[in-house]
Structure 1
Amino acid sequence: MPELSVIVHGPNTQDHLTGLLDSLTAHPLPDTEVVVAAVGDWARETARRHAPHVQVLPLPDGTPDATARAAGAAR
């Protein structure tokens, strides 16, 4: 099964994460597992609320970008 891993990290997270999740909901990718590496409580809760069909990989606040990428890739 193809996999799409998404990492939204940094100061514009609130603007980009909701838009991305809404787009994935509006245009589903059939037979594709979508994994969102969510850094912090806000991102995790937003991902779960906006797109319950995606798998959320929760990461603690302050997780560096490289660590978030590695966690998403390792998944």
Structure 2
Amino acid sequence: MCDLSDPRIVEAYTSIVEEGTADWLLLGYHDTRDVISLYFSGSGGLAEFRNHLSDEVLYGFVKVDDRFILITWVSEQV
């Protein structure tokens, strides 16, 4: 099981679903496959979210209108 204890993950999630100050977050593995950390979060919608995708495995959570989308990103280079 992966470690999701990074407190910034909960803060970013809360800012999306409760506070409405952000509309996306992006999670990924830093130095090990056992720990998932918050990479980025923002309020610029899908366009901003897309600009932060990279050549690794990433997990996204995006609010579009009144719906929430979970995204698993696996680039072709992985």
More helix by share: 1
Q: Which has the larger radius of gyration?
A: 2
TM-score computed with the length of structure 1 as normaliser: 0.33
Instruction: Report which of the two has the higher share of strand.
Output: 2
| Relative contact order, higher structure (CA 8 A, sep 6+) | 1
* TM-score normalised over the length of structure 2: 0.32
